[in-house]
Structure 1
Amino acid sequence: MEKPPRVQLDRSAWIQAALDTLANEGVTGVRVEVLSKRLGVTKGSFYWHFKDRQDLLSAVLDTWKEGRIQDIVKQTHPDPSASPAQKIAQIHRVIDIYSTSRNRKGILIELAMREWARRDNATAAIVEEVDAWRLRCAREMFLGCGLPMHEASTRSMLLYAYVFGVSMMIYDRFDADVPRLKDDIRDMIAGGLST
């Protein structure tokens, strides 16, 4: 009888498995032996790609950071030739994208990262860097609409707090007209911008 082919994993498969585990169990659940069993490979496969558990955790942090920064830059990147109306429409689109997205796994990873950051200075620095990027990108959109720095900063903080908060809430029963509620909030964040 022929043996089944051995599973060949690359570094990214280990990182993805660690992110999945992080979402469900937090950083303490990210252990080499547990991941090996879940992936159906030996621990030797892990050590082919990583020096040790800390090397994996560093790769997880880098992957999360790069993904979050690339995403916000992609959504907020200004078009230099955009009209004022297009710049305002971009702000509305960003608000809509981030306030309607209900990626449960993404939310769980975000929460796990923040919990991890409470106990680990290196992780806290990464989370702070991601937050700074998100806020800076949002602020640049408001600055692009001609708002002064202080108001652009305030609106970017309000936008970020709204998007982050709504992603964690179960709010469907709070108000009978959720679409109107979201439109009102969007108008409060982006209202008064001139075209």
Structure 2
Amino acid sequence: MVNESTRLSAQDWARAALKAIADGGLAAVAVEPLARTLGVTKGSFYAHYRNRDELITAALTEWARSHGEAALTELAALTDPARRLRELLTVVVQAVQPLAPSVHLSLLGDRNDPRVRDAVHEVNRARLDLLTRTYQELGLPPDRAASRARVAYAAILGLLHLAQTDPDGPDSAALAEEATAVFLPS
């Protein structure tokens, strides 16, 4: 817990809001409970944001930045598409933890909010673009590469969903091997 003398940044508040979103969607973002969680007063919040909507917008912007194109830069730079796909699948699948809340999945309940729709679209587009490009570099024609990318990405989101509900799921390293075997064209 942060003590009162510690000054929180706007990003600290946005990250706390993202944790709340992962646990309960946009409805879980409330200033007083976040302040209690952070160990500060509401005054700290108002030093950075005028209202809850600004905080939600900042949190969604941070999530889109940290889970979209910027997060994929290092993987995108790999020149061997087979290695890129293998590492991408391994990183994503190994990040899936049993019973762990997911911002992405929690946002689906708020998909009619334009801010949510835009953030999810940005993250999905970055991930699908990288997967599609990778499959094209592996020799699939553009239409087939786009389809394969969608199926692979749907499987990844499905693994996130299963992890939220199944505490006894398989080991993430084993899942990463299976995902690579299934989604890496031979």
**Short-chain TM bin:** 0.7 to 0.9
* Percent identity of equivalent pairs: 23
Preserved CA contact (<8 Å) 2:90 2:177: no
Over aligned residue pairs, what C-alpha RMSD do you find? 2.7
Closer, same or farther: CA 107–163 of 1 in aligned 2, 3 Å: farther
Written as runs of structure 1 = structure 2, the 5 A alignment for 1:41-56 is: 41-56=40-55
1:99 equivalenced with 2:98 (yes/no): no
Between Structure 1 and Structure 2, whose CA radius of gyration is higher? 1
Residue 41 of structure 1: how far off its partner (Å): 1.9
2:64 alignment partner in structure 1: 65
Q: Give the counterpart of 2:117 among 113, 117, 124.
A: 124
Deviations 1:12-62 (A, max 9, x none): 111121112222232112111221222222222111111111110100010
Secondary structure (helix, strand or coil) at the match of 1:50 reads coil
Asked if the contact 1:78–1:141 (Cα under 8 Å) also holds between the matched residues in 2, the reply is no
2:84 is the alignment partner of 1:90: yes
Q: Contact conserved, 1:7 with 1:40, CA < 8 A, in 2?
A: no
The alignment's TM-score, normalised by the length of structure 1, stands at 0.78
Q: Which one-letter code corresponds to 2:102 in the other structure?
A: L
Gaps of 5+ in 1: none
Aligned pairs for 1:13-24 (under 5 A) are 13-24=12-23
**What is the Cα deviation at residue 144 of structure 1?**
1.7
Following the alignment from structure 1 to structure 2, what is the Cα–Cα distance between the partners of residues 99 and 34?
Answer: 32
Matched residue count:
179
Q: CA deviation at 1:97?
A: 2.2
- Provide the residue aligned with 2:153 in structure 1: 160
The one of 121, 126, 134 equivalent to 1:141 is: 134
Partner in structure 2 of residue 150 of structure 1: 143
AA partner of residue 162 (structure 2): M
CA distance in 2, matches of 1:156, 1:96: 15
Unaligned runs of 5+ in 2: none
What's the TM-score once normalised by structure 2's chain length?
Answer: 0.82
Amino acid at match of 2:130: C
